[in-house]
Each structure stands twice: as C-alpha cells, then as structure tokens.
C-alpha cells in the first residue's frame, strides 16, 4: 500500500471519528435546546393566557350577540375569557380549571389522564402518558374574583421532533459531504506533497541503473521536510560524486606513477633476457631493477599512508600535547641524518602545548624536514622554529636549498606533483599533499615562502581554540 493511500486512509478514519462525534454532539445539544424551547413556549403561552381572564359581577350592558369574548357563569358573576386566549398554539394546550378540578374552558388532550393530578403553581412537571412524555405547567389565577381558578398548560416532548428530524437529516447530508471533500482533498494534497519522494526514487533508480552521479533530483522552491530531504539527497550525491571523482583521479595518478618504474623494470628484464650479457651488464640491469623496485615500494607505502589518512580522518585521537617536546625530539632524530653536511638547528620554545594528534604532527614535520634535506645544498642549514602568539601556534622549517619558483608554489601541494628536477630523485610527490591533509585535519593550514636559488620556508599555522587564546 502506498504511503499516499496510507496517509489518506488514516486521515479519513480520524476524520470519520471526528465527524461521528460532531454528529452526536450536534444531536445532543440540539435536543437540549429544542426541549428547552418547548418548555419556554409552554411557560410563555400559559403566562400570556393568565391576563386573558377576568371576573365580572354584572354583565348588563354587554351585547352577547356581538361580543367575541366568552362568558362563563361563575359563582355569582361571570368569567370573561378574552378572545386572545390561546387554547392551542404550536401544540401547546391551555385549559381553565375550577378549584375542584372541573375543566371550564380551553383544551387539554390529557384531560382524562391528568384528571386527579393536583395543581402546583408555576412549576414545570412531567408525566408519561402512553409512552410519551408531556410537560405540564399550572398557574393559579389571583385577580379579583378569580381565586381558586387554575390554568393548566400541556405540551408533548415530541413537539420538537420535527426540528430534530430536520437537523438530523441535514447533518447526515452535510457531514458525509465534508468527509468526502476532505478525503479527496487529502488524497490530492498527499500526492502533491509526496512528489519529491517519487523524484528521489526515480533519481536513485537512475543512478543505480546507470551509475551516473551527475543526476540530481529536481526540486521546486520550498522549505518543508521533503524539500529539505531532496536537497540533502542532492548534496549527498554531490559529495559522493566528488569522492568518486577524487578516487578515480587518485587511481589514475597512482597507476600513472607506477607505470614508469614498472616499464623500466620490464625493459631491463627484456634487455637481460634477450641475449647473453656480460657480468657487468647483468649487474647494472639488476641495479636499475632494484632502484625502481624501491621507488615502487616507497610509492605504494606513501599511497597507502595517504589513503589511510584521507579515509580515517575522523579516527585520529586528538590529545593535549607538549609540542615543544615533540618538535625537539623529531629534530634530534632528523639531525642524525646529517645528509650533504647539512646542519639542523631547532628553537622549540618552552612547553608550548596544543590539542593535536602527535603521530600526525610527527609525520608533518618529518615530511617537511626530509624535503629540506632532499632539496638543500651541500653544507647548508635547516632551521626549525616553534612559536606561539595569542591567536596561533607556528611551526616553520627554513632551508637554504634550491628554492621553488613562484609558479610551482601553487602546485607542490597537489598529489603526485614533482618538479622536473626532482622527478628522478627518491621522492614520490605525496609528501606535501600529506602535510596539507594533516594541517587541515587539525583545522590549520600550511604556507610556503620561497625564492628560487635562495631557499624555502614552510610554515604550519595552527589557530588556537577560543579558550586557549590569551586576551
């Protein structure tokens, strides 16, 4: 079952319950209101009729032939019942009774049934007759000569039934129509709202079938959850695309770098196997094969290190480290290289500390110092300096070697980049790329300042965290 249908069904079920409850409430409230109206009408009718009865001792002078009022002989006079007396209105019946309970005027459909019922002034009472409930309201007349006379009003509870029936029928027509409109509207809106999900599915299927990570989900303007989901999905595809592209590039660069030593090894093997060679020629060929094999081995090790660094960037534990001690220890070890008569000196400050991964900082410094030896001049010098100010810590390595041209300074941090002069050397072109990666892993950067023929300064800048900054 589709989400759209599920949502619609849930919505319909909830709405059905609400509408059923509304129907019940409407019926119950209407019933209450109508019953109250019936009782109020009864009261009002009886009260109005009270003023329509008068007592006359003498009615000479009144022409009974033309008179529209009714005259009833009562005691030693007459009762005049005005022609405005409503003995039946809206099924409310009013009748005039003498004190002994004799019906004198008006109508009472329950006259027989209520014959023995005591009068009770100004109180609405109920009586069930033949399964039907009736409201009864008595009123004692108090005017001159009217003492002992009573008006009794009677109305059936069913009097409001017609209105109730109308309300019920109206509700039964209107409420299902509302339910239907809401369900259809809900179904259409759900379809519209869920459209981005269809787009996501289609795009995911297309990527799955063709592996084309350039595909994107078409999203119209909007800021609801599904639009945000589609945008996140697009960002994710973008990142995957970039990651795959980087992977592809790396594989292609790596195979390109490995191809050269491999071709040299193959050529040397063919040369040696082609025909019988002298002892010296075999030794030379094996020497070349050994050098190229070493180069491949270095390249593979560096590549593995680099890939590990990129893949597990989040797995290196950062800890509070005494950088002064770390730098001093690395310099002591590296000074032992003593290649080309180069002297290495170190200024490491006192107890400069930072939250870093010591293993990676060691690698960063080793790579830069190794380069300084590699590209340094005979009997030159390397100066390592660790310093800090209120905002950052700086670790610089200065050499007085061959230097780097301005054009190349941009490129040396790219993977596998090597200047032409250093291609034949022992480098792999991954050292500085690794340095850059380590620097950014720590939230820092690495800068180069160099002049061809004069030397280079590589500086790792590590910004201090706000709590470390000295104000």
For residue 262, the minimal CB distance to ligand ADP (Å) is: 18
429 binds ligand ADP (CB under 6 A): yes
Selection from 155, 140, 151, 153 nearest residue 96 by Cα: 151
Angle between helices 431-441 and 358-374 (to 10 degrees): 150
CA–CA gap between residue 432 and residue 298 (Å, rounded) = 15
268 binds ligand ADP (CB under 6 A): no
380 binds ligand ADP (CB under 6 A): no
Specify the stretch interacting with ligand ADP by CB under 6 A; choose among 22-30, 249-257, 315-323, 431-439.
431-439
Specify the stretch interacting with ligand ADP by CB under 6 A; choose among 27-35, 86-94, 354-362, 417-425.
417-425
Q: Is 3 exposed, middle or buried (0-12, 13-18, 19+ CB in 10 A)?
A: exposed
**Which residues contact residue 86 at a Cβ distance below 8 angstroms, ignoring those fewer than 6 apart?**
45, 48, 49, 92, 94
399 binds ligand ADP (CB under 6 A): yes
Give the one residue of 404, 438, 439, 441 binding ligand ADP; rule: CB under 6 A: 404
296 binds ligand ADP (CB under 6 A): no
Angle between helices 161-193 and 195-210 (to 10 degrees): 30
Specify the stretch interacting with ligand ADP by CB under 6 A; choose among 119-127, 228-236, 304-312, 426-434.
426-434
159 binds ligand ADP (CB under 6 A): no
For residue 422, the minimal CB distance to ligand ADP (Å) is: 4
CA–CA gap between residue 297 and residue 292 (Å, rounded) = 9
Specify the stretch interacting with ligand ADP by CB under 6 A; choose among 65-73, 111-119, 196-204, 402-410.
402-410
422 binds ligand ADP (CB under 6 A): yes
Specify the stretch interacting with ligand ADP by CB under 6 A; choose among 122-130, 237-245, 354-362, 430-438.
430-438
CA–CA gap between residue 388 and residue 460 (Å, rounded) = 12
Give the one residue of 357, 432, 439, 441 binding ligand ADP; rule: CB under 6 A: 432
Cβ atoms of 191 and 80 within 8 Å: the answer is no
**CA-CA-CA-CA torsion for 303, 309, 310, 314, nearest 10 degrees?**
170
Radius of gyration of the chain (CA): 53
Which phi and psi (to 5°) does residue 47 adopt?
A: -60, -40
Q: What tokens does 297 get? A: 């081995």
Specify the stretch interacting with ligand ADP by CB under 6 A; choose among 35-43, 136-144, 195-203, 429-437.
429-437
For residue 353, the minimal CB distance to ligand ADP (Å) is: 27
CA–CA gap between residue 345 and residue 328 (Å, rounded) = 10
Number of residues that bind ligand ADP (CB under 6 A): 22
For residue 3, the minimal CB distance to ligand ADP (Å) is: 53
Query: Quick one: 153 or 429, whose CB is closer to ligand ADP?
Result: 429
Q: Is 155 exposed, middle or buried (0-12, 13-18, 19+ CB in 10 A)?
A: buried
Query: Quick one: 284 or 370, whose CB is closer to ligand ADP?
Result: 370
427 binds ligand ADP (CB under 6 A): yes
382 binds ligand ADP (CB under 6 A): no
E strand or H helix at 178, and its extent?
Answer: helix 161-193
Write the secondary structure of 23-35 as one string of H (helix), E (strand) and C (coil).
HHHHHHHHHHHHH
412 binds ligand ADP (CB under 6 A): yes
Largest alpha-carbon pair distance within the chain? Answer: 171
For residue 267, the minimal CB distance to ligand ADP (Å) is: 23
396 binds ligand ADP (CB under 6 A): no
230 binds ligand ADP (CB under 6 A): no
417 binds ligand ADP (CB under 6 A): yes
Question: Footprint of ligand ADP on residues 346-375 (CB under 6 A)?
Answer: 371-372, 374-375
Give the one residue of 419, 449, 459, 468 binding ligand ADP; rule: CB under 6 A: 419
For residue 403, the minimal CB distance to ligand ADP (Å) is: 6
Query: Quick one: 429 or 444, whose CB is closer to ligand ADP?
Result: 429
Number of residues written out for the chain: 471
For residue 432, the minimal CB distance to ligand ADP (Å) is: 3
- Identify the bridge partners of residue 458 per DSSP, sorted by sequence position: 397, 448
Specify the stretch interacting with ligand ADP by CB under 6 A; choose among 56-64, 74-82, 199-207, 413-421.
413-421
Residue nearest ligand ADP by beta-carbon distance = 427
End-to-end CA, the chain:
63
Cβ atoms of 35 and 157 within 8 Å: the answer is yes
For residue 452, the minimal CB distance to ligand ADP (Å) is: 9
CA–CA gap between residue 427 and residue 145 (Å, rounded) = 134
Q: Count Cα atoms within 13 angstroms, Cβ side, for 35.
A: 12
Q: Mark out the alpha helices in 350-452 (DSSP H runs).
A: 358-374, 406-409, 431-441
- In the complex, the residues that contact ligand ADP under the rule CB under 6 A are 371-372, 374-375, 399, 401-404, 412, 417-419, 422, 427-433, 456
């Amino acid at each position: 079952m589709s989400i759209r249908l599920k949502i619609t069904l849930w919505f319909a079920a909830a709405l059905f319950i609400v509408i059923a409850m509304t129907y019940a409430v409407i019926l119950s409230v209407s019933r209450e209101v109508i019953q109250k109206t019936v009782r109020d009408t009864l009261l009002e009718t009886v009260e109005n009729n009270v003023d329509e009865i008068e007592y006359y001792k003498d009615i000479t002078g009144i022409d009974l032939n033309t008179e529209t009022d009714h005259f009833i002989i009562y005691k030693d006079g007459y009762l005049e019942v005005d022609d405005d007396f409503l003995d039946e209105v809206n099924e409310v019946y009013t009748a005039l009774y003498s004190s002994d309970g004799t019906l004198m005027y008006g109508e009472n459909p329950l006259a027989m049934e209520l014959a023995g019922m005591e009068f009770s002034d100004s109180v609405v009472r109920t009586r069930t007759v033949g399964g039907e409930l009736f409201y009864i309201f008595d009123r004692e007349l108090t005017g001159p000569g009217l003492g002992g006379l009573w008006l009794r009003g009677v109305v059936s509870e069913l009097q409001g039934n017609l209105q109730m029936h109308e309300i019920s029928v109206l509700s039964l027509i209107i409420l299902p129509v509302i339910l239907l409109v809401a369900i259809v509207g809900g179904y259409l809106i759900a379809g519209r709202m869920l459209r981005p999900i269809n787009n996501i599915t289609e795009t995911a299927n297309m990527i799955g079938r063709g592996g084309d990570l350039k595909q994107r989900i078409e999203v119209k303007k909007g800021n609801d959850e599904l639009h945000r989901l589609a945008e996140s999905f697009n960002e994710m595809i973008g990142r995957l695309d970039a990651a795959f592209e980087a992977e592809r590039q790396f594989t292609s660069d790596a195979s390109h770098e490995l191809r050269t030593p491999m071709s040299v090894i193959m050529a040397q093997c063919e040369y040696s196997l082609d025909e019988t060679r002298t002892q010296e020629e075999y030794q030379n060929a094996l020497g070349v094969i050994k050098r190229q094999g070493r180069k491949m081995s270095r390249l593979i090790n560096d590549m593995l290190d680099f890939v590990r660094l990129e893949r597990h960037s989040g797995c290196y534990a950062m800890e509070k480290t005494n950088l002064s001690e770390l730098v001093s220890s690395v310099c002591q070890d590296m000074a032992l290289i003593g290649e080309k008569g180069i002297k290495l000196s170190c200024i490491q400050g006192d107890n400069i500390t930072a939250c870093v991964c010591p293993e990676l900082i060691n690698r960063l410094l080793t790579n830069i110092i190794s380069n300084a030896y590699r590209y340094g001049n005979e009997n030159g010098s390397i100066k390592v300096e660790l310093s800090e100010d209120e905002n950052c810590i700086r670790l610089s390595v200065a050499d007085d070697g061959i230097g780097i041209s301005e054009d190349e300074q941009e490129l040396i941090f790219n993977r596998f980049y090597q200047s032409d002069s250093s291609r034949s050397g022992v480098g792999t072109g991954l050292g500085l790329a690794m340095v850059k990666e380590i620097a950014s892993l720590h939230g820092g950067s690495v800068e180069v300042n160099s002049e061809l023929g004069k030397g280079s300064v590589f500086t790792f800048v590590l910004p201090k965290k706000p709590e470390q900054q000295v104000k």
